[in-house]
Amino acid sequence: MRAILLAVAVALAAAATAAAAPPPGKGNTRPQGCNGPTVAVVLTGTFAQYVSAQSFTMNVFGGNVFAKAYKGQPALPIAVSSSTAISRQGDHNLAHFVHDDRLNVQARVCRASLANHGTPALTASRVTGRPGA
């Protein structure tokens, strides 16, 4: 009797653990090699150049506290993945951005990589643009 109860308890514990797992494609979104917390780097500036469907460059004028090391960098390369949300007046194609469009770029990086004014490579999670002045 005890063996049956023990087997049922183990089966229920395994089912609870499986049910708590995130669905496929969701869950841990930390950058490769990052074991600590991630932070959002928000950059503001202007669109400099379309490089390819996977990257572009921007002139950084400001951003949040985590973007301090990037501020003032001309032609900062930004990578874009297939999951990056891109928007420019309802258009979702990076190739339609124009030189000097105003940008707001959001990316997630490992907080430890920003120590000592580090500037790790950025992969954008969101790119929002507006026509320049």
Q: Residue 85 belongs to a domain with what CATH number? A: 2.40.50.320
The DSSP element (H or E) to which 85 belongs, if any, is strand 76-88
pLDDT of res. 55: 93
Residue 13: inside a domain: no
Cα(97)–Cα(116) distance, rounded to whole angstroms?
Answer: 33
Whole domain around residue 73: which residue ranges?
29-130
- DSSP-based three-state secondary structure for 86: strand
5 in a domain, yes or no?
no
Q: Would residue 12 count as lying in a domain?
A: no
Q: Which of 1-5, 88-92, 93-97, 114-118 has the lowest mean pLDDT?
A: 1-5
Q: Stretch 116-121: mean pLDDT, rounded? A: 90
Is pLDDT above 70 for 19?
Answer: no
Is the Cα torsion angle 28, 52, 44, 110 positive or negative in sign?
Answer: positive
Would the pLDDT of 67 be above 90? yes
**Share of residues in the chain with pLDDT > 90 (%):** 53
CB under 8 A, 24+ apart: contacts of 6-14: none
Of 24 and 45, the one with more pLDDT: 45
Contact 103, 45 (CB under 8 A): yes
Total domains in the chain come to: 1
Q: Is residue 96 part of a domain?
A: yes
Its pTM stands at 0.73
Q: CB-based burial of residue 87 (10 Å sphere; 0-12 exposed, 13-18 middle, 19+ buried)?
A: middle
